[in-house]
Amino acid sequence: MSIAAASNILEDLASRFGEGAVTPEPTLDSVPTFWTPKENVLEVLEFLKTGVEGPYRMLYDLTAIDERTRRKRQDQPGSDFTVVYHLLSFDRNEDLRIKVALKGESPSIPSATGVWSSANWYERELWDMFGVRADGHPNLRRILMPQSWEGHPLRKDHPARRTEMERYTLPLEKEVREETALRFVPREWGIYRTEGNGTEFMFLNMGPHHPGTHGIFRIILELDGEEIVNAFPDIGYHHRGAEKMGERQTWHTYIPYTDRIDYLAGPLNNFPYVLAVERLAGIEVPERARVARVMFAELFRIASHLVWYGTFAQDLGQLTPVFLTFNDRERAYSIIEAVSGFRMHPAWFRIGGVQSDLPKGWEKLVKDFIEYLPPRLMEYEKLVMDNAIVKARTRGIGTLTLDQAIDWGVTGPNLRACGIEWDFRKKRPYSGYDRFEFDIPTAGEGDSYARALVRVEEMRQSLRIIEQCLDNMPSGPYKSDHPLATPPRKERTMRDMETLIAILSVLGPVVPAGEAAVGTEAAKGNNTYYLVSDGDASSYRTRIRTPSFPHLQALPLMCKGFEIADHIAIMGSIDFVMGDVDR
Amino acid sequence: MQGIIASVLTIAFVLIALLTSSAALIWAERSLLALWQDRYGPNRVGPLGLFQPVADMIKIFTKDDWVPPFADRPVFVLAPAIIVITVLTAFAVMPFAPGVLVADMDIGVLFFLAMSSLSIYSVVLAGWSSNSKYALLGGLRGAAQMLSYEIFMGLSIMGVVLLAGSFNLNDIVEAQRNMWFFIPSSGLFIFFPAGLAETHRLPFDLPEAENELVAGYHTEYSGLKFGMFYIGEYLGVTLIASMITTLFLGGWLGPVLPPAVWFILKTGAVIVVFILLRASLPRPRFDQLMGFGWKAMLPLALINLLVTGGIILALTDAPVFPGGGNAEPL
């Protein structure tokens, strides 16, 4: 992410589109950022995807910022809404941000669905949340909010609190209306099937309450017998407005909300958030906190993968593993509870460090766990992965090629199962991951079994990392001395007035204005928090790029032509959590 | 007159014993699964949770007896009764101990096959009358699965029939005095999976497949009608296990202990294997299950039949059928 590389891509763009076609913007996270006029944004994107050396092959994220109440915007062109494309190049190991300034109350951009398949849902989200239309989108309807919702929630003029809205009532006719709006009407999804000698396919509504969908997820399957002709996922039932809450909570009090995004691996969401805030505030985290964070994150990676392991087997009809793996997860939670006081959502990370020092005797707990788990994993290997029926059910099922995976924004274990070694812990080491010895497991087939193999091996690698944390835990403070570290260290509050005020009044620092995005390797894929600060006690815009959202978008592609039973196996193998999808 | 009273008493005894044992099976299955899955299982109601089935029964009896408005009412109500009736009727020919059986039929084996075939109607009609897509898919799966596994279930028994020279289950047990039939006839290894498929239990529970089809053919059922399916499943398990005992494991034969105890012990052991399979195996896909049936099990059943027949022919120069080959047509 060097400046040289940034100027390089600027030259490329200038030579292709002419001098001044794109305007660079300096950012705190040193991600090259360019402003492009709306007219030629598609060409710029197309060029970056295919035309440059070391192409940006993945549309990593696509979101917008409502700029209408923002005050501190140095070096930025004026706009009411800014659409932000976040691209990722595997060859360069670099990100790129393309920004488009939009004016007016009902702005629109040209749809990028022709360039990246994954743009589809992101553009629907853009419309739903900001009212930014994507011209030429195949099916531009709301994605997270109910179809009957009025307004666009992430606009600044949309209320953020219950008390700012009218009192909610649900009279009978409204209830009926809302329920009718949920009925699946093929034409609304752009399906007009008239061809094919009058054959009609059956639509099977699966979910939002279905034992196989892992949470409140709805998918409509178009079936020929039991074979899936097409599938239409419908999400948003788990939407809690996490991004909107980010604008309401202080920087500090938002941490527990991030725990609940991918609720099976809380600290893996805390991680990119606190890293991004620290980047904005310029906080250096002490060594002990860095290693403790890594240990915590890896414990939760194991906890999350254990849940996946059990439910994956459960989806294939195996009753027992889920009880065993949940049992093991409880043992990991005992450590987490001893350290943080909570089990599932510890909210232990703090801006500038962690909440408390590791308790006395934590070494023994961790040591017991890393001795306990490997034999159990061996047992599950025999029980699940080596089972002939499991293999028959998952091999060659739901195969993604590497190109498809990249086109659809797939990351994490699902991407590594397609044969690319791409892990932020190795590629962009954060929090000192570069000093740990571990391998990145990959598999080549890209099918459900390969995805499972990668995850199983990842648990062993996480154990290795935890063992190194145990052996090399540095001593020293667990929180930074920086005045913006929250809550400030007790000794400091007793000495200077500013920190005392900070702890007494809002429990929140005022983070300098700027923008930063930090991506980490979460349990399910790459997780990025893109924070915009306007120099306030809370964020101006919190964008959460979760891995499960694009994974779920690729589900119809994976399950076409397979059977209902395969569909369940595929859903089990991609390991999504609805909290992570809907936020 | 005395004969009638004796028969009525036997029937009553068998019915009560079966219903009690299938209730006890619910407890046994839950406890065993819990044991293998590192958890407690039922332990609240009574000592060791033994009265759990009673509590379940009370719950099921007092639940709202609801029929979905979109269902085909008469068929919907009839379907769960069929499975219980057919399975219980099939027990009529089962020799629990010498002399303890309801009907000593010469066509016992055929009667059993007929009754277990009829129980398909329960699944198919439930799936159809529910007027729900999940139930329909479950019913379709059930029909196809049971039809195909029926065929080699029948074929796998024929080896035993050859060995015993009779369709009468009592005669079949008597014929095992020297050697249990699972040794000369490997039909057990074909009959067992077929029985699993017949009772649609994991790993062959595709008509239910809760991860895929919610609850398959009985998705729309609740209360007592659901309870009938539930009991029907456990009765089915008991039936198949008793059948395995009778056909392959020497029935009530055994030293020292009374015959009825031997019968119960053997049947119990087979049921434990059923539960163990449920605890350990995943579920194959539908086409894999059918492929396994037609491509592996059917040829095996036929080969088994041929080999068994060949051995009998080679070892005995006497006529195979008792009665000197002049057996009357049935």
- Is 50 exceeded by the pLDDT of residue A229? yes
Domain positions in chain A are 3-135, 242-397+414-436+453-480
Q: Which residues in B lie closer than 8 A to residue A317 (C-beta atoms)?
A: 202-203, 205, 209, 211, 281-283
A180 touches B at CB < 8 Å? no
Do the Cβ atoms of B238 and B263 come closer than 8 Å? Answer: no
Looking at domain A3-135, does it have CATH number 3.30.460.80?
Answer: yes
Q: Give the Cα separation of B177 and B163 in Å (integer).
A: 12
**Residue A7 — φ and ψ, nearest 5°?**
-70, -30
Do the Cβ atoms of B126 and B135 come closer than 8 Å? Answer: yes
Compute the count of residue pairs across chains A and B with CB atoms less than 8 Å apart.
82
A320 touches B at CB < 8 Å? yes
Residue of B nearest to A327 (CA): B38
CA distances to B113, B181, B200 from B299, in Å:
20, 20, 22
User: What letter represents residue A279's amino acid?
Assistant: R
Q: Give the Cα separation of A292 and A270 in Å (integer).
A: 13
CA quadruple A53, A58, A61, A65: dihedral sign: positive
B224: containing domain: 68-315
Answer yes or no: do B36 and A387 touch at CB < 8 A: no
Q: Which residues in B lie closer than 8 A to residue A204 (C-beta atoms)?
A: 133-134, 137
pLDDT at A204: 86
Query: Looking at the partner chain, which of A318, A327, A566 has a beta carbon nearest the beta carbon of B38?
Result: A327
Q: Which residues in A lie closer than 8 A to residue B209 (C-beta atoms)?
A: 317, 565
Q: Give the Cα separation of A262 and A266 in Å (integer).
A: 6
Q: What confidence category does residue A307 fall into, taking pLDDT thresholds of 50, 70 and 90?
A: very high
Answer yes or no: do A383 and B281 touch at CB < 8 A: no
Q: Nearest CA to CA, how far is A107 from chain B (Å)?
A: 43
For the segment A525-542, what is each residue's pLDDT rounded down to a tens digit? 899 999 998 888 888 999
Answer yes or no: do A226 and B286 touch at CB < 8 A: yes
Q: What confidence category does residue A193 fall into, taking pLDDT thresholds of 50, 70 and 90?
A: low
Query: Looking at the partner chain, which of A314, A384, A389 has a beta carbon nearest the beta carbon of B211?
Result: A314
Which of A210, A223, A320, A393 should one mutate to test binding to chain B, selecting the residue with the greatest count of B CBs within 10 A? A320
Answer yes or no: do B285 and A565 touch at CB < 8 A: yes
A residues 431-450 near B, CB within 8 Å?
none
A211 touches B at CB < 8 Å? yes
- Is 80 exceeded by the pLDDT of residue A240? yes
- Is 90 exceeded by the pLDDT of residue A305? yes
Mean pLDDT by 10 residues, chain B (330 residues): 80 85 86 89 85 87 86 88 89 80 81 87 88 87 84 84 82 79 75 85 78 82 86 88 88 80 88 90 86 86 85 68 47
A470 touches B at CB < 8 Å? no
Q: Considering the domain boundaries, does residue B15 fall inside one?
A: no
3-state secondary structure A25-77: ECCCCCCCEEECCHHHHHHHHHHHHHHCCCCCCEEEEEEEEECCCCCCCCCCC
**Residue A102 — φ and ψ, nearest 5°?**
-125, 145
Q: Which residues in B lie closer than 8 A to residue A316 (C-beta atoms)?
A: 211, 282-283
Q: Give the Cα separation of B231 and B218 in Å (integer).
A: 13
Q: Which residues in A lie closer than 8 A to residue B133 (C-beta atoms)?
A: 202, 204-205
Q: Give the Cα separation of A354 and A268 in Å (integer).
A: 14
By DSSP bridging, strand A514-521 and strand A94-102 are: unpaired
Q: Which residues in B lie closer than 8 A to residue A202 (C-beta atoms)?
A: 133
**Residue A249 — φ and ψ, nearest 5°?**
-75, 160
pLDDT at A122: 92
pLDDT at A496: 73
Residue A83: strand pairing partners: A64, A100
Q: Exposure of A476 by Cβ count < 10 A (0-12 exposed, 13-18 middle, 19+ buried)?
A: exposed
For the segment A429-482, what is each residue's pLDDT rounded down to a tens digit? 888 888 888 888 888 888 899 999 999 999 999 999 999 988 888 888 888 877
A residues 545-564 near B, CB within 8 Å?
563-564
Q: Which residues in B lie closer than 8 A to residue A324 (C-beta atoms)?
A: 37-38
Rounded to an integer, the average pLDDT of A54-82 is 85
- Which of A254, A277, A273, A243 lies closest to A511, judged by CA? A277
Do the Cβ atoms of B241 and B270 come closer than 8 Å? Answer: yes
Rounded to an integer, the average pLDDT of A110-127 is 90
By DSSP bridging, strand A108-110 and strand A133-135 are: parallel
A214 touches B at CB < 8 Å? no
pLDDT at B319: 53
Residue A250: CA atoms inside 13 Å, Cβ hemisphere, count? Answer: 17
User: What letter represents residue A437's amino acid?
Assistant: E
Which of A214, A218, A316, A448 should one mutate to test binding to chain B, selecting the residue with the greatest count of B CBs within 10 A? A316
- Angle in degrees, 0-180, between the axes of helices B188-198 and B133-164, rounded to the nearest 10: 150
Rounded to an integer, the average pLDDT of A213-222 is 86
Answer yes or no: do B214 and A211 touch at CB < 8 A: yes
Query: Looking at the partner chain, which of A315, A383, A389 has a beta carbon nearest the beta carbon of B284?
Result: A389
- Is 60 exceeded by the pLDDT of residue A247? yes
For chain B, what is the domain count? Answer: 1
Q: Give the Cα separation of A70 and A385 in Å (integer).
A: 53
A242-397+414-436+453-480 matches A3-135 in CATH topology? no
Q: Nearest CA to CA, how far is A2 from chain B (Å)?
A: 49
Q: How far apart are the first and last CA of chain A?
A: 29
Determine the 3-state secondary structure of A349 from DSSP: strand
Do the Cβ atoms of B37 and A321 come closer than 8 Å? Answer: no
Could you tell me the two tokens for A344? 């599932």
CA quadruple A412, A415, A418, A422: dihedral sign: negative
Q: Give the Cα separation of A159 and A148 in Å (integer).
A: 17
Residue of A nearest to B288 (CA): A392
Could you tell me the two tokens for A464? 């290795």
Answer yes or no: do B283 and A317 touch at CB < 8 A: yes
Answer yes or no: do A323 and B37 touch at CB < 8 A: yes
Answer yes or no: do B203 and A317 touch at CB < 8 A: yes
- Is 50 exceeded by the pLDDT of residue A152? yes
pLDDT at A3: 43
Determine the 3-state secondary structure of A403 from DSSP: helix
| Overall CATH class of domain A242-397+414-436+453-480 | mainly alpha
Do the Cβ atoms of A215 and A579 come closer than 8 Å? Answer: yes
pLDDT at B140: 87
Q: Which residues in A lie closer than 8 A to residue B139 (C-beta atoms)?
A: none
Q: Considering the domain boundaries, does residue B281 fall inside one?
A: yes
Could you tell me the two tokens for A412? 């994490």
